[in-house]
Amino acid sequence: MHEFFSILLSGDVPFVRYALIASLLSSFPLGMIGSFVVVKNMGSIAGAISHSVIGGIGLALYLQIVFKWRWVTPQIGALVFAVLSGLLLSWFLIKGKQRFDTVVNSIWVIGMSLGLIFLSLTPTYTDPMSYLFGNILLISQQDLILVGILSFVVVFVVIVFYPQLKAVSFDEEFSKIRGISVSLFSVVLLLLVSITVFLMLQVVGALMVIALLTLPPAIASMFHRRLSSIMITSTLITILFSFIGLMVSFLANLPTGPVTVLILGSAYLGVVLLKRIIPFSN
Amino acid sequence: MKVIEVSNLTFGYEEEPVLMDVNFFIEEGEFVTIVGPNGGGKTTLIKLMCGLLTPWSGKISIYGKSPKENSHLIGYVPQQNLLDRRFPITVEEVVLLGRVKPFGWYTNRDRKIVREVLERVGLWDARKEQFSSLSGGQMQRVLIARALASEAPILFLDEPSANIDSENEKQLSAILSDLKKDHTIVVVTHDTGFVDMITDRVLCVHRTVSEHSFVDDGLSCNYGYPKHYAHVKHDTLIKR
């Protein structure tokens, strides 16, 4: 553990520090948006967005290497695809007459398939594992700035529109009668989910983001009766577990995403079991 | 003064109309009970009057304007079983939703009004309780308080007596008869018993709307109403 802290502070290996800063910055949007995802049962929507992101990463790498478009980084590809799938899902949610879960599943698999096809078309060897499960070696200082800005945007929007977002999440019809634009806030919420999914992409990877988004609020909701308290507690849980995950993965030389998710998942199951044995109230 | 006016209203979800050629009006301060068979269009009619659904044809006016333009004059109490029971929200927070605005946070005035309405329905002491932990009757009172918090002169209640026991039903009818003093109230219900002493008029919705009058002639209605309405007449279609 001593080794981990000295690495954090040393100037030679900045990537561990970058990964920690990225995790801490994203913990706030993750805790807030994750709470909405859990109380509104939007887990599969978040899953679809996070998997569609792989399509964006694949396309960006393909354009970068085959067409020499240097500026199309995997991060840009991921963010664009996250936002586009968020918008597409909002459109189906508001206007579509299709079965919504079928739409969600389609976006999920189409995004992932696109990504894997583009990766296999890209001539130089690209390792999809980094993007699927995270790779803290990929985090640059520029990425940190982007993560910082986007985290601030998400937190700001949630705080400013908190009463409206909560009202729409609890009772759409009543909110509509009170003059709230339910479709606008549905789009806003899905876009916030998209941005939040993008934030932790490099640390934990596209496949694991959904766990970090849903498990901390799931734990927090066992102890609280208010949405705002769930948000605060799950932010703290996210901070704690991404720190532990990063440390353990570094010391054991294992990928950060799966290690963090495994620890977090065990904690969740542990709390669920504990609650069955000792029923404490919330 | 006619507060609610519905003329030549037709509406359906798919191709078949659910409501056809509906005409009626409600005067200020009236207490109107809407009855009718399942699937007859009671809830649909309430949602149309709230502006949640748009008519195929015909017109609905609330204080002279469309329901969407005058939605701030409408206090809506939905069927409680349609709400997500697992949502983490306290009683006070639910009632605050009645004060939600298109932009901005709740003010001290909003909180003061929430206190007044919670006291009016007798649930101020339960304000910190989780909404989902309440009994059916308490939940109903919270939803009424939320509608009251909107300070709207019209209240629409959809099946307020569902899921509540007879003790709570008495309490509910006491609250409604108190609210009658300063509101125009429209209640959709299967069970007219708890409102039979306060109802001014009974409308029956079954594809269209007809009024039950209290006179003893004409076709009597076949649905089971309490003794008070034993001689309801079911053939007077109100035409303007």
* Lowest mean pLDDT segment, chosen from A90-94, A238-242, B60-64, B104-108: A90-94
Residues, chain B: 240
What are B184-202's pLDDT values in tens digits?
A: 999 998 777 777 778 888 8
Chain A contact residues (CB < 8 Å to B) = 39, 161-164, 166-167, 169-171, 173-181, 221, 224-227, 229-230, 282
pTM here is 0.89
Contacts of B76 (CB under 8 A, 6+ apart): A173, A174, A177, B46, B50, B147, B155, B156
Tokens found for residue B118: 């919670």
Distance CA B191, CA B42 (A): 13
Residue B230 in this model has a pLDDT that exceeds 80: no
Q: Chain A residues with CB inside 8 Å of B130's CB?
A: 225, 282
Domain count, chain A: 1
CA A93 to chain centre: 20
Report residue B239's pLDDT band, with 50, 70 and 90 as the boundaries: very low
Residue B235 in this model has a pLDDT that exceeds 50: no
Angle at A54 between CA A48 and CA A55, to 5 degrees: 95
Q: Over range B208-216, report the average pLDDT.
A: 63
How would you label A203-217 residue by residue, b for 16+ Cβ within 10 Å and e otherwise? bbbbbbbbbbbbbbb
Residue B29 in this model has a pLDDT that exceeds 90: yes
Q: What is the pLDDT of residue B233?
A: 41
Q: What is the pLDDT of residue A282?
A: 55
CB A190 within 8 A of CB A93: yes
Map tokens 């009543």 to a residue.
A174
C-alpha distances out from residue B106 to B76, B96, B97, B101, B147, Å: 20, 8, 9, 8, 16
CB contact under 8 A, A170 and B94: yes
Q: Does any domain span residue A223?
A: yes
CATH of the domain at A33: 1.10.3470.10
Q: Does any domain span residue A282?
A: no
Contacts of B193 (CB under 8 A, 6+ apart): B169, B226
- Top residue of A32, A35, A174, A221 to mutate, by most chain B CBs within 10 Å, is A174
* Lowest mean pLDDT segment, chosen from A92-96, A161-165, B43-47, B49-53: A92-96
Q: Does any domain span residue A239?
A: yes
Helix (H) or strand (E) holding A172: helix A172-177
Distance CA A89, CA A237 (A): 29
Full domain range(s) for residue A203: 2-277
The radius of gyration of chain A's CA atoms, rounded to the nearest angstrom, is 19
Q: What is the pLDDT of residue B231?
A: 41
What are A193-223's pLDDT values in tens digits?
A: 999 999 888 778 888 889 999 999 999 999 9
Compute, in degrees rounded to 10, the torsion defined by CA atoms B141, B146, B151, B154. -60
Report residue B225's pLDDT band, with 50, 70 and 90 as the boundaries: very low
Q: What is the pLDDT of residue A99?
A: 82
End-to-end CA distance of chain B: 14
Q: Chain A residues with CB inside 8 Å of B106's CB?
A: 163
pLDDT > 70: percent of chain B: 88
Parallel, antiparallel or unpaired: strands B208-213 and B201-206: antiparallel
- Top residue of B65, B92, B100, B150 to mutate, by most chain A CBs within 10 Å, is B100
Residues, chain A: 282
Contacts of A30 (CB under 8 A, 6+ apart): A196, A199, A200, A212, A213, A216, A234, A235, A238
CB A145 within 8 A of CB A158: no
Q: Does any domain span residue A128?
A: yes
- Top residue of B65, B93, B96 to mutate, by most chain A CBs within 10 Å, is B93
CB contact under 8 A, A226 and B90: yes
CB contact under 8 A, B93 and A178: no
**3-state DSSP of B17-75:** CCEEEEEEEEECCCEEEEECCCCCCHHHHHHHHHCCCCCCEEEEEECCECCCCCHHHEE
pLDDT > 90: percent of chain B: 57
Q: Chain B residues with CB inside 8 Å of A172's CB?
A: none
Distance CA B114, CA A90 (A): 33
* Lowest mean pLDDT segment, chosen from A11-15, B118-122, B177-181, B196-200: A11-15
How many C-beta atoms lie closer than 10 Å to residue B238's C-beta? 15
Distance CA A43, CA A36 (A): 10
Which residue in chain B is spatially nearest to A36 when comparing CA positions? Answer: B87
Most confident stretch, B37-51, B160-174, B205-219: B37-51
Residue B180 in this model has a pLDDT that exceeds 70: yes
Backbone angles phi, psi at B52, to 5 degrees: -80, -25
Residue B240 in this model has a pLDDT that exceeds 90: no
Q: What is the pLDDT of residue B219?
A: 40
Walking along chain A (282 residues) 10 residues at a time, the average pLDDT comes out as: 77 82 93 95 92 92 88 89 94 81 92 91 76 79 90 96 96 94 94 92 84 95 92 96 92 89 95 85 56
Q: Look up residue B46 and give its amino acid.
A: I
Contacts of B82 (CB under 8 A, 6+ apart): none
Q: What is the pLDDT of residue B229?
A: 45
